[in-house]
Structure 1
């Protein structure tokens, strides 16, 4: 997942205003108690940030991938 795709999913799944607010303010323990923006700036892979954000907000797998029905779910890092 590229950074551009991360932000596109944030906008599609959470809405532009709410999603951007979440990315700036939601502290996520799996990301070292950082916000998604802080984690991205620290070099955490966008797919890992995306999974952590969706997990924290209980977003079902079927709703995580936005409007593009052909978009493939990015695998979790191991």
Structure 2
């Protein structure tokens, strides 16, 4: 997963305004108490950050990949 794909999914799954706020404000213990945005900037793989964010927000698997039913879902880890 590329950074662009991560941010596209944030916008699609959470909504642009809420998703961007969530990514910059929600501290995630599984990412060493960083926000998703901080983890991405620190070089953590976007796929890992995405799964941690979705786990923290209890996003079900069927919703994690947005509206495109043919989008390839990368493995969690």
> What TM-score do the two structures reach when normalised by structure 2?
0.97
> In structure 1, the residue corresponding to 2:55 is in which secondary structure?
helix
Residue-by-residue CA offset, 1:22-70 (whole Å, 9 max, x unaligned): 0000000010100000000110000000000000000000010001111
* Partner residue in 1 for 2:28: 28
Mapping 1:35-46, distance limit 5 Å: 35-46=35-46
Q: Structure 1: 5+ residue runs without aligned partners?
A: none
> What TM-score do the two structures reach when normalised by structure 1?
0.96
4+ residue stretches of structure 1 with deviation over 4 A?
A: none
More strand by share: 2
- Superposed CA RMSD: 0.6
Q: Structure 2: 5+ residue runs without aligned partners?
A: none
